[in-house]
Structure 1
């Protein structure tokens, strides 16, 4: 890679990261100012009617505006109130609608820097499509060109690519669309998508075959089959997501909308009945006061912030580099009761290290350790290199043996080793594999040796380690088992505490591993998980998920391979790794761009924070309405019924000042709560009952107290207006 190209990649990644950082660090004032134009555009009634509560406020503001115009020509319509009272109330109601729109616009605006950065990658790039491709005519080796053989390469715009097309991408070129590598291996720069500057390896035939359009191949050459239609690529979905363009209301939001709409209708009926009742006792209430009272009593606070809470929750997920196909998935994450976590890479680091040499009775320790190390000299795996490192730490000096032949590890043999020039052969591998090799070579393992070997293997497995048996066949045909190398899979720090926090919230953690039951049990105990699935196959995961769901549990899991697709599709929250196959990403309802399986725990926390925030602000809003009811009603009628003055505990100046103070407070509180709606209520890993109790105290009691204080302070200024 040339220095100029390297600089271009680095600058692009730095620019994107800077854009997102600036967006997240902007002050609320700057975000409000920048979002004002979008807030005004949302005044269109075709948009407003989707939010029934705020649509009522919009209708009330429009009606009072018309009423104010008529009052300019006929003062009798003011019902004895100052004409400008109607205008002030109308302006405050328009401001209430504006603040509600502003909350949603700010939430959407936070994702625009990320969307703009992503658009930099969504350019129309050349695509080298393979015409007439089949596996027998794979053009991976630089050709053929057009006209040479049954398959040829043609350059077309990436926008013309169709589902199923095959393209060739060489070093330095942008991948023109989402797809799976069907031939080749390459180093790919995904910084434009993930923000991570370190390149990743993508190759055909495995669980890391998926590539994303807009990322760049840094080395080698790959053949990619396109798996997405134009306009439906991964980048397109991310842009739509962070901007909130395709955000649909979740079931919980719809249910809350129904509740808020029902409360609005109830209060509308109550307000309509006030004037007839007042007239029967010689009192009357103007239309301006009735509309203001209605707006104060309906749940405008949560109605104004509901959409912003949902968008902000989605934004928090995107900031963690996770793409969700819908808000439903985030809510489901908040309700999850069972987490399925892969052992390797999630609970453990995945790099097993040699920790100890165990020679069998009658075998010299040095002989066993040296044989294990010699068989690992050419072993490039982390396990093999750790065996060499352990031997060197015990003082062995190891040099390559001239004329020795390396025997690499294969999935079929499950062994590796070394054939020495003198005819001796050393093998190390799984217990069953080494025993099968001994039998094949005609060796005989005495019963006492076999028992000692199995005892040592079971002891290592019981401690959570992985045993590798070392055996040697001498030139005379004699086979001897030397001992066992203990490999230790290190559990990540801090996970035990995090799992304990999840347990407090009523979430069970289940470790999924291919290890034998003894090893799985030991690691599960060390990590602190509640259950484990040992020697797990894809169908085992699927069966476990169905069993949990049959009990009424919501299940979340991660996966990256095609064989994980059924379980991802069955789970309530399926998080596919970005490095995984297209089948896995299509089956899941979330994609982790960083391919970090531990992020599932963070996703659950984000989902719970979303639910807690919505619940807290709903509680605050309804408590507000109750308080405003008792604050306003006595003040409204105390002039006609002096006895109600006893209930005017705030000492509001008059009925007009009480109503105006209440609707001003109603508008201001929306603005004050926007930061909380965007940031979310602080999340603590506690039981649901404890969270509910604290929120009722903080947001329920606070929602009752705040209007009394706020309306009283505002009334001190409103009473100074002439005529009030």
Structure 2
């Protein structure tokens, strides 16, 4: 997929688009675009008048009628070509994805044994074992083990990623390959419902729906078409009254020139190209509405761990409090982590080995493991001898100890603050009513995040970081990353609350995250961008998935969304301005002989009424293919205020939309008038 960013079009895409241009002439298909459907109907009527001139009494106008028919036909074909070309880019991406959908054998776990079965027989909930060199047979979650996985078939990136049980990096995608170790995977989708299947359907365009903005613009264009249809129909009796003969082909030509055919022919291509541009950046958008909403984002909520930071918070030090020795802190930290499959839990045991410390592994046997919960912000184990061991957020462990009648060491707060000020995360370790010390977890802000947030600020987007860390740690990370605001010690409901608060103020909100606890907020946000390395729950809740798992990619998504809206607005402005110019080209030329006073409006001084009509019609046809590259690539976006942006586009595309037709139609008229 990365190679597709480098090349806008290929010869094969163009060839297929030309074929599809004729296939799309089907009236059932054309009716979805009212403006171009009107043009097609007019083309058919002129064709009949060309083929059967005697029946219509137009024997002397066959040459003119044939010329009009050819120009109108190319107008429709060029519009179809623009849409087909945009769709072709998505189909090309889908073809590359289909290559990854090969028949894979799976080692399905059945009771105490393993059975080799085709991947198509796997169902949601099945357990499979995938070893080094084997393909992962379906979407799933790692429930045991750790492995390096090559996801280049999906993301286009060659560097393998680590997938492990527990935490936010347990999600795996069917069609990727395990390059080291062995993992046990629980399948999370049935055949035909995998992540790749959804990607193929989306990039092929099968699931694309028109966005509200596009529907509104279609309604406007249809209304303008009806208005000009009424105007052209009323021109016929007016022309007869002033003794000017306007044939049906002339009236059809006039209608096609006046209705917004330029934007009507490019509107679908603009929307499809917008979604395709997102895909070029390895972001899968579940709908065009999500891309469009990204262009109007006011606030961005970012989860800290795995989004702003690398998310690999690892134990780096045991910090004793009170009179307890460091060795004892490590022992109880290890006991609390023996059944903890999260990266943090495993890092505690690794730190023990690194420091040469020992602990009684038999102590945890038969104990009940207490999993981490967002509400309690603690995990641990209840031992057989009734002792309860906990590790977790300092304030949560403090409250737990106090609730059992215990006392809190005087230096707990001081030591915790010291860790937090250094950007680390302190986890308190306690047994029943006594706190023994802290585990110093280190995390790192991803490179370039500060510069990326500066870009968002220039776009007028406010950034808010959400984290379960204490206020001091949160403040340190927020300052280092350069976000505008932060929420410390946040729970899933806190993220939803801040999103709803911003939405209640009329703002559109984007949210990025990768964990199961981010899923509710991702679903609530107007634009939810989940990391592909994250959990299945996060990806299902979001309306976009970043295949590269780069949270800063949201900046590209926002820029593409703004680019989509700008492109649509710019070309609409250009199209309407075109109509104004064509009005001054055709109407005065047609009526000047009968109404000499209209000579004042004949500023273009076109050769004759006939050449004026043909020149405007030819310009109307060729402007569509000339604008296809702009519709596909999008109007260049530069961070600036909405007012400056509006003024810039009105000047370029509004004024340009008036000036270009005057020049173009005049040049074409010089040739046409000589030829006629």
The aligned counterpart of 2:386 is: none
* Higher alpha-carbon deviation: 577-586 or 261-270: 577-586
Deviation at 1:583, TM superposition (A): 2.0
Q: Within 2, Cα distance between the matches of 1:704 and 1:335? A: 28
The aligned counterpart of 1:89 is: 68
Q: Structure 1 residue 536 and structure 2 residue 518: aligned?
A: no
Q: Structure 1 residue 595 and structure 2 residue 577: aligned?
A: no
Deviations 1:597-635 (A, max 9, x none): 222222122111111111111111111111111221111
Q: Within 2, Cα distance between the matches of 1:310 and 1:492? A: 33
The aligned counterpart of 2:604 is: 650
The aligned counterpart of 2:90 is: 111
Q: Within 2, Cα distance between the matches of 1:591 and 1:517? A: 30
Q: Secondary structure at the match of 1:188?
A: strand
The aligned counterpart of 2:165 is: 204
Equivalent of 2:44 in 62, 67, 70? 62
Equivalent of 1:123 in 102, 105, 112? 102
Q: Within 2, Cα distance between the matches of 1:541 and 1:669? A: 48
Deviations 1:68-94 (A, max 9, x none): 1122x469426x6x4211111110110
The aligned counterpart of 1:632 is: 586
- Unmatched runs of 5 consecutive residues or more in structure 2: 338-342, 362-368, 380-390, 430-434
Residues 1:667 and 1:332: Cα distance change in structure 2 (over 3 Å): same
Deviation at 1:570, TM superposition (A): 1.5
Equivalent of 2:658 in 704, 711, 724? 704
Q: Structure 1 residue 247 and structure 2 residue 247: aligned?
A: no
Q: Within 1, Cα distance between the matches of 2:355 and 2:280? A: 53
Deviation at 1:437, TM superposition (A): 14
Q: Within 2, Cα distance between the matches of 1:198 and 1:608? A: 31
The aligned counterpart of 1:177 is: 138
The aligned counterpart of 2:385 is: none
Equivalent of 1:319 in 259, 277, 280? 280
Deviation at 1:219, TM superposition (A): 3.6
Q: Within 1, Cα distance between the matches of 2:263 and 2:246? A: 27
Equivalent of 2:508 in 536, 543, 554? 554
The aligned counterpart of 2:383 is: none
Residues 1:590 and 1:693: Cα distance change in structure 2 (over 3 Å): same
Q: Structure 1 residue 719 and structure 2 residue 673: aligned?
A: yes
Residues 1:572 and 1:438: Cα distance change in structure 2 (over 3 Å): closer
Residues 1:573 and 1:444: Cα distance change in structure 2 (over 3 Å): closer
CA contact (8 A) 2:139 2:174 kept: yes
Task: Find the structure with the greater CA-based Rg.
Answer: 1
Deviation at 1:646, TM superposition (A): 2.6
Equivalent of 1:274 in 235, 238, 249? 235
Deviations 1:651-708 (A, max 9, x none): 1101111111111111111111101111111111222222112111111111111110
Residues 1:630 and 1:269: Cα distance change in structure 2 (over 3 Å): same
Equivalences for 1:283-362 in 2 at 5 Å?
283-350=244-311
Deviation at 1:331, TM superposition (A): 1.2
Deviation at 1:237, TM superposition (A): 1.7
Equivalences for 1:189-588 in 2 at 5 Å?
189-350=150-311, 405=358, 450=410, 454=413, 458=417, 461=420, 464=423, 491-492=445-446, 494-588=448-542
Q: Secondary structure at the match of 2:653?
A: helix
Residues 1:305 and 1:285: Cα distance change in structure 2 (over 3 Å): same
CA contact (8 A) 2:147 2:180 kept: yes
* Higher alpha-carbon deviation: 198-207 or 488-497: 488-497
Residues 1:337 and 1:59: Cα distance change in structure 2 (over 3 Å): same
Residues 1:204 and 1:276: Cα distance change in structure 2 (over 3 Å): same
Q: Within 2, Cα distance between the matches of 1:200 and 1:57? A: 53
Residues 1:572 and 1:463: Cα distance change in structure 2 (over 3 Å): same
Residues 1:693 and 1:486: Cα distance change in structure 2 (over 3 Å): farther
Q: Secondary structure at the match of 2:25?
A: coil
Q: Within 1, Cα distance between the matches of 2:507 and 2:104? A: 46
CA contact (8 A) 1:505 1:688 kept: no
Q: How high is the TM-score relative to the length of structure 1?
A: 0.78
* Higher alpha-carbon deviation: 675-684 or 222-231: 222-231
Equivalences for 1:158-169 in 2 at 5 Å?
158-169=119-130
Q: Secondary structure at the match of 1:277?
A: helix
CA contact (8 A) 2:307 2:512 kept: no
Q: How high is the TM-score relative to the length of structure 2?
A: 0.83
Q: Within 2, Cα distance between the matches of 1:594 and 1:347? A: 14
CA contact (8 A) 1:343 1:512 kept: yes
CA contact (8 A) 2:319 2:329 kept: no
Deviation at 1:317, TM superposition (A): 1.0
How big is the alpha-carbon RMSD for the aligned residues of Structure 1 and Structure 2?
Answer: 4.3
Number of equivalent positions: 640
Deviation at 1:335, TM superposition (A): 1.8
CA contact (8 A) 1:573 1:589 kept: yes
Deviations 1:503-526 (A, max 9, x none): 343322101112211232343244
Residues 1:431 and 1:28: Cα distance change in structure 2 (over 3 Å): closer
Q: Within 1, Cα distance between the matches of 2:6 and 2:209? A: 24
Equivalent of 2:14 in 25, 32, 37? 32
Deviation at 1:550, TM superposition (A): 2.2
Q: Secondary structure at the match of 2:199?
A: helix
Q: Secondary structure at the match of 1:169?
A: strand
Q: Secondary structure at the match of 1:202?
A: strand
Q: Within 2, Cα distance between the matches of 1:231 and 1:126? A: 16
CA contact (8 A) 1:351 1:383 kept: no
The aligned counterpart of 1:418 is: none
Residues 1:256 and 1:244: Cα distance change in structure 2 (over 3 Å): same
Deviations 1:419-459 (A, max 9, x none): xxxxxxxxx998779999999xxx9999xxx47x8567546
